[in-house]
Amino acid sequence: MIDQFKIIKKAAMDPFLLIPRQLAILSSIYVDGIHESVMVYAEKYNLSKPAVTRALDRLEECQLIERKVDREDRRKIIVTPTPQGQEYINNLMA
Protein backbone atom coordinates (compact mmCIF):
# COMPACT_ATOMS: atom_id res chain seq x y z
CA MET A 1 0.00 0.00 0.00
CA ILE A 2 1.21 3.48 -0.87
CA ASP A 3 1.73 5.83 2.05
CA GLN A 4 0.11 9.16 1.14
CA PHE A 5 2.06 10.88 3.92
CA LYS A 6 5.31 9.75 2.26
CA ILE A 7 4.14 11.41 -0.94
CA ILE A 8 3.26 14.63 0.87
CA LYS A 9 6.56 14.68 2.77
CA LYS A 10 8.58 14.18 -0.42
CA ALA A 11 6.58 16.91 -2.12
CA ALA A 12 8.13 19.48 0.19
CA MET A 13 10.90 19.65 -2.44
CA ASP A 14 8.20 20.14 -5.07
CA PRO A 15 8.88 22.46 -8.03
CA PHE A 16 5.13 23.23 -8.20
CA LEU A 17 4.96 24.15 -4.49
CA LEU A 18 1.67 22.34 -4.01
CA ILE A 19 -0.02 22.62 -0.64
CA PRO A 20 -1.16 19.50 1.30
CA ARG A 21 -4.77 19.87 0.15
CA GLN A 22 -3.68 19.81 -3.48
CA LEU A 23 -1.35 16.87 -2.87
CA ALA A 24 -4.08 14.91 -1.09
CA ILE A 25 -6.47 15.36 -4.01
CA LEU A 26 -3.71 14.56 -6.50
CA SER A 27 -2.81 11.36 -4.67
CA SER A 28 -6.51 10.38 -4.65
CA ILE A 29 -6.57 10.75 -8.41
CA TYR A 30 -3.41 8.78 -9.12
CA VAL A 31 -3.01 6.38 -6.19
CA ASP A 32 -6.64 5.66 -5.28
CA GLY A 33 -7.99 6.02 -8.81
CA ILE A 34 -10.70 8.48 -7.82
CA HIS A 35 -11.61 10.49 -10.91
CA GLU A 36 -14.82 11.99 -9.60
CA SER A 37 -16.34 15.41 -9.34
CA VAL A 38 -15.70 18.17 -6.83
CA MET A 39 -18.30 16.89 -4.38
CA VAL A 40 -16.50 13.54 -3.89
CA TYR A 41 -13.23 15.25 -2.94
CA ALA A 42 -15.04 17.76 -0.74
CA GLU A 43 -16.68 14.96 1.22
CA LYS A 44 -13.56 12.78 1.39
CA TYR A 45 -11.34 15.56 2.77
CA ASN A 46 -14.02 17.57 4.59
CA LEU A 47 -13.44 20.63 2.41
CA SER A 48 -15.77 23.16 0.89
CA LYS A 49 -16.55 22.81 -2.79
CA PRO A 50 -14.87 26.17 -3.55
CA ALA A 51 -11.68 24.96 -1.78
CA VAL A 52 -11.66 21.79 -3.88
CA THR A 53 -12.28 23.81 -7.04
CA ARG A 54 -9.32 26.07 -6.23
CA ALA A 55 -7.11 23.01 -5.61
CA LEU A 56 -8.20 21.46 -8.92
CA ASP A 57 -7.58 24.79 -10.67
CA ARG A 58 -4.01 24.78 -9.40
CA LEU A 59 -3.43 21.13 -10.36
CA GLU A 60 -4.80 21.80 -13.83
CA GLU A 61 -2.66 24.95 -14.14
CA CYS A 62 0.39 22.75 -13.42
CA GLN A 63 -0.86 20.29 -16.06
CA LEU A 64 -1.01 17.49 -13.49
CA ILE A 65 -4.72 16.81 -14.16
CA GLU A 66 -7.38 17.59 -16.74
CA ARG A 67 -11.07 18.22 -16.17
CA LYS A 68 -13.55 16.89 -18.70
CA VAL A 69 -17.32 17.02 -18.98
CA ASP A 70 -18.98 13.65 -18.31
CA ARG A 71 -20.60 12.51 -21.56
CA GLU A 72 -23.49 10.87 -19.71
CA ASP A 73 -24.21 13.81 -17.39
CA ARG A 74 -22.96 17.09 -18.84
CA ARG A 75 -23.40 18.79 -15.46
CA LYS A 76 -20.68 16.59 -13.98
CA ILE A 77 -16.95 17.22 -14.36
CA ILE A 78 -14.58 14.25 -14.31
CA VAL A 79 -10.98 14.72 -13.20
CA THR A 80 -8.49 12.76 -15.31
CA PRO A 81 -4.76 12.11 -14.95
CA THR A 82 -2.19 13.50 -17.37
CA PRO A 83 1.13 11.93 -18.39
CA GLN A 84 2.98 14.79 -16.65
CA GLY A 85 0.95 14.18 -13.49
CA GLN A 86 1.70 10.45 -13.58
CA GLU A 87 5.42 11.19 -13.92
CA TYR A 88 5.21 13.65 -11.02
CA ILE A 89 3.52 11.05 -8.77
CA ASN A 90 5.98 8.35 -9.84
CA ASN A 91 8.86 10.63 -8.82
CA LEU A 92 7.24 11.32 -5.46
CA MET A 93 6.74 7.61 -4.82
CA ALA A 94 10.27 6.63 -5.87
Dump pLDDT digits (tens) for 11-40.
666 677 888 899 889 988 888 887 887 888
Prediction pTM value: 0.81
**Burial of 87 per CB tally in 10 Å (0-12, 13-18, 19+):** exposed
The structural domains of the chain, with segments of one domain joined by +, span: 4-93
User: What is the structure's pLDDT at 76?
Assistant: 85
Read off the pLDDT of each residue in 41-52 and give the average, rounded to a whole number. Answer: 94
So what's the architecture of 4-93 in CATH?
A: Orthogonal Bundle (1.10)
User: What is the structure's pLDDT at 4?
Assistant: 67
Better-predicted residue by pLDDT, 56 or 5: 56
> Under a CB-based contact definition with an 8 Å cutoff, are residues 25 and 71 in contact?
no
Say whether 48 sits in a helix, a strand or coil: coil
